Amino acid sequence: MKRIFTRISVLAAFCLLTINVALAQNITVKGKVIDGGDKTPLPGVTILIKGTQNGAQTDENGNYSISVPANATLVFNFVGYTALEQAVNNQTTLNVSLASSTQQLEQVVVVGYGTQRKIDVTGSVGTVKGEDISKQASVNPVSALQGKVAGVSITNNGTPGSSPQITIRGTSTIYGKTGPLYVVDGVWYDDINFLNPADIANISILKDASSQSIYGIRAANGVVLVTTVKGKKGTAVINYNGSVGIQTVTNQVEMANASEYATAVNEAYSLQTPPVAPLFANTNLGAGTDWYNQVLRSAAVTNHQLSISGGSEKSTYNFSLGYLDQDGIVKNNNYKRYTARLANDFQIFEPLKIGYNVAGTYSKSKDAPTTIFRGMYAASPVVPVFNPDGSYGDPNAFNLGNGSNMNPQATLDFFNQNTTKYKINGNVYAELKFLKNFTFKTSIGGDFGQEEVRGYVPKYKATNTQLSTISKLDIDRIENRNWLVENTLTFDKRWSDHSLTILAGQTAQRNKMYTINADAQNVPYTSEGDLYLALGDAAARSIIDKGELSTFSSYFARVNYGYKNKYLLNASIRRDGASQFFGSDNVWGNFPSIGAGWVISNEEFMKNQNIFSNLKLRGSWGKVGNAGVPFNPSTQTVDQSAALIAIFGGIPYTGASIRSIVPPTLFWERSAGTDIGLEMGFFKNRLNVELDYYNRKTEQAIFDIPVLGSLGTANSSLIANQADIQNRGFEFLATWADKTSGGLTYSISGNLGINNNKVLNVTSGANPIYKGGAGLTSGYLSTRTVNNRPIGEFYGYQVAGIFQTDAEAAAWPGFKKGDFKYADINGDGTIDLRDRVVLGNPNPKFTYGLNTNFAYKNFDLTLDIQGVADVDVFNANLSSRFGNENFTKDFFDHRWTGPGTSNTYPSADLAGGLNNAPNSFYVEKGDYIRLRNIQLGYSLPSAIVNKWKMQRLRVFLNAQNAVNIFGYKGFSPEVGGTPTNAGIDTNVYPLFATYNFGVNVTF
């Protein structure tokens, strides 16, 4: 690490020396910038030296001062105005006026295999600038998108180094890969956790099938296009971004103290049949142990990035180094990430351009036990962390030992697991322009990575249940070797009132994964860091290796046509072949799309109106596919085991058994979608509004449906194309950007997404698919997926009150006073599985965000608010009880303690009868609104930073997730999960608030 930063320092010193020499030849240019129409001063105008990021801003009177080379060209930029370039030519005074423009319409949007003017786009594409991503404290760029794009739902996990779940326009896939396709500079990925957010120039999210279909094979769950930062022509620019901060627990669940716990446990024992003697003779035990305070902490986080970019007329470069050190809020938990990236572009001669970008990422984490939050939640406060003699407090000493009541500190101290990841990725390309209108581009990209999880359990005894009589080492290693080759030919011509772009392309791709799972027993602790599998007992070593190989071949074409900048047409088709489907008649799939747009505001009859500065109607339809299914799902396999040995003639023969059912064939999972959009601009495009309606249906969705266990299968479900899934919704985006005469520039943007999810035409008919059993007791299942209902709805008993007396409960076998009183839905006088009803929906109906930016003089302020509504969470923390777990303070304060005390909360005997069965008490509203990010920055005046040989120096304060408003009784209602297990809170690693101080320096 020291060697890395020594090299950075040397490199930075060299670049500073070069810049100082250049600055010695500079002159100071002063001037004023005004509005070309009303001649008023324009404050906050950005002035850059062309080809660099060096520059200044006008003050409240429109004045500026900047040190530049005598032969430089200045570029003046301001929201709502046309950019202006002005040569200095040794002038020391340069006054300019800017003309109002339709900048919003001319904005370039990144789309599949190219770019388009926003006004020409016929599909639904959401864009986020890199500067809006880097302004957040998020260490993962996907997390920074939360609340910024309508129709995009992001669920974060607090585990350091983890990747958020992203859902675009609702859940449309249940089995296999449910996430979107990420395309980074033309290379395909399943995740972009390896990217440093500061390396991103912009992100485009393709939301409708028309814009996605050019990536047919993998676009069913959306496409996220990432463009990284490139070098620009001009002198070298050195930029440093750094921050240090603290992460703190928010909305910590308050648990019952020792006295309250003892009281509740004694009550639970008294309610047993027959009653059991109290466990605690004395309940006056004081506060006891607060296990959250014992295990959790305020955690430090530091993030640094250094980049150097520049270039000449013939070549440009960008080089960056990044370092992240993030502690988890669980003690001992830590994540470190090192990134390096280099991009070069070379103009060999006028028609030929070549380039490459390569990135390397290394990360290492000291992991936290996955059960630690469950352990803290369940642990008894009467158990001390340590006994007076230094030994661990043992729940068994208090007759509290069970499957979940343990000493969390012992769990933490004897957990030793590290995860290491290496990744190298990037691509090289060549682009040739010929015959005036043609461009041929070829690109070869790759993704080579390795992940290793190494866990070691020593021989130890902490308590009577937390012990290991042998030491054990586990190593899990995953290697990925992926490559992608793409060739495209583009014809682009503008003539008279016409514009035509034709794209044709071909793609070949191979993904290879190799995994090894190995373990050994009786490995000495002193061997840690060596090849210690070999040091374990030879008879107790196990190695399992396996791999997957998938190949793809694709051909695609697209036509974009425009007439008089009023009538737009987009049509594309992609044909994909995938090895997962070899051996069937469905190797190849075709994915067409068509989109049309009408720029109404350019019509003659709109010329004299003063309402719309822009009015565009667009519509699209398309099909996309999902090849992210398990490897060889249609291949019948057999199992061999010692139980199947038969002896004939004294010779043992190993038998085989078919223990799984596979479909005879598996089809492409296709998604067909329609989108209708309306774009409007008002007040010279200061206000821009976008409305979208979409209707998307996944056809032949791959489901796993239950099969009878009597068939002798090991698996209890059959994987096949079993259903259709529909997502329909509405999206709204409004942005106001303006300036005031006092020098304040600002933008306010709000977005809203509404989605309705429904399963259609399930092959199994009325037979529901039950899931959601993870973390629940007694084998209960809490979700149901059935025809004409949303995916993974919560399903269970409807609570109608609490039985107040035994006499009241006597009519219902199996119930007693203090128990939940369930509604008899079918009226048969008994409570059984036939009385279950829909309890809630984990699929959010509403997602929204409010994003604002303000700049006044040298100050800037960013404020982002984000939230979801009409969504439910299943609080499995409350229902998962084995007998003596702790209670929340909320439950203790409101529990039933006798007739008339509560008709909502049950007694302390939650583990009795059907009390812990899935029911409406455990399903809570998951709505929340969050102050996602707030950042206040101050840029030192140009006169000061120029004296320090800098171009810019900005300091900032940042707070993320500082304010969270919700009614859910857990840490956070932001709970992810697979589609049929979503929204079930089993003590996931919660989010936290982050407070940062940082600095941006540009030389």
Asked if residue 405 has pLDDT above 80, the reply is: yes
- Tell me if 914 sits within 8 A of 278, measured CB to CB: no
For the chain, what's the residue count? 1003
Mark whether 204 and 82 lie in a shared domain. no
Q: What is the pLDDT of residue 711?
A: 53
Q: 136 lies in a domain?
A: yes
Mark whether 112 and 218 lie in a shared domain. yes
Which tens digit of pLDDT belongs to each residue from 184-231? 999 999 999 889 999 999 999 999 999 999 998 889 999 999 999 998
Q: 504 lies in a domain?
A: yes
3-state secondary structure at position 118? helix
Omega before residue 141 within 30° of 0, cis: no
| Overall number of domains in the chain | 4
Confidence of residue 38 (pLDDT cuts 50, 70, 90): low
Which tens digit of pLDDT belongs to each residue from 682-702? 988 899 999 999 999 998 888
Mark whether 62 and 45 lie in a shared domain. yes
Mark whether 33 and 73 lie in a shared domain. yes
Angstrom distance (rounded) from CA 954 to CA 131: 14
Q: What is the pLDDT of residue 599?
A: 95
Mark whether 183 and 224 lie in a shared domain. yes
CATH of the domain at 195: 2.170.130.10
| Residue type, position 809, single letter | A
Q: 84 lies in a domain?
A: yes
Backbone phi and psi for residue 834, each to the nearest 5 degrees, phi listed first: -75, -10
Q: 949 lies in a domain?
A: no
* Highest-scoring range by mean pLDDT, 75-79, 399-403, 727-731: 727-731
Mark whether 239 and 161 lie in a shared domain. no
Mark whether 221 and 110 lie in a shared domain. yes
Q: What does the DSSP 8-state code read for residue 835?
A: G
Short-list 574, 755, 738, CA closest to 670: 574
Mark whether 120 and 223 lie in a shared domain. yes
Q: 50 lies in a domain?
A: yes
Q: 855 lies in a domain?
A: no
Which tens digit of pLDDT belongs to each residue from 589-647? 899 999 999 999 999 999 888 899 999 999 999 999 888 776 555 555 555 555 556 66
Q: 647 lies in a domain?
A: no
Short-list 417, 365, 412, CA closest to 386: 412
Final residue belonging to a domain, choices 83, 98, 113: 98
Residues in CB range of 408: below 8 A, 6 or more apart: 291, 294, 295, 372, 375, 376, 379
Instruction: Look at strands 315-327 and 73-77 and give their pairing.
Output: unpaired
Angstrom distance (rounded) from CA 695 to CA 134: 33
Final residue belonging to a domain, choices 550, 578, 596: 550
Angstrom distance (rounded) from CA 174 to CA 166: 14
Mark whether 110 and 214 lie in a shared domain. yes
Short-list 117, 119, 172, 183, CA closest to 694: 172
Final residue belonging to a domain, choices 98, 123, 156: 98
Mark whether 115 and 66 lie in a shared domain. no
Confidence of residue 583 (pLDDT cuts 50, 70, 90): low
* Highest-scoring range by mean pLDDT, 14-18, 125-129, 717-721, 835-839: 835-839
Q: 759 lies in a domain?
A: no
Which tens digit of pLDDT belongs to each residue from 756-815? 999 987 765 557 888 888 777 777 899 999 889 999 999 999 999 999 999 999 999 889
Token pair listed for 779: 């084998």
Backbone phi and psi for residue 35, each to the nearest 5 degrees, phi listed first: -75, 130
Sign of CA dihedral 865, 866, 872, 874: negative
Full DSSP string of 415-462? --EEEEEEEEEEEEEEEEEETTTEEEEEEEEEEEEEEEEEEEE-SEES
- Residue 378's Cβ-side half-sphere holds a number of Cα atoms within 13 Å equal to 29
Q: What does the DSSP 8-state code read for residue 391?
A: P
Angstrom distance (rounded) from CA 622 to CA 611: 33
Mark whether 33 and 145 lie in a shared domain. no
CATH of the domain at 89: 2.60.40.1120
Mark whether 435 and 486 lie in a shared domain. yes
Short-list 657, 597, 582, CA closest to 627: 582
Full DSSP string of 307-361? EEEEE-SSEEEEEEEEEEEEE-SBTT-EEEEEEEEEEEEEEEETTEEEEEEEEEE
Structural domain of 73: 26-98
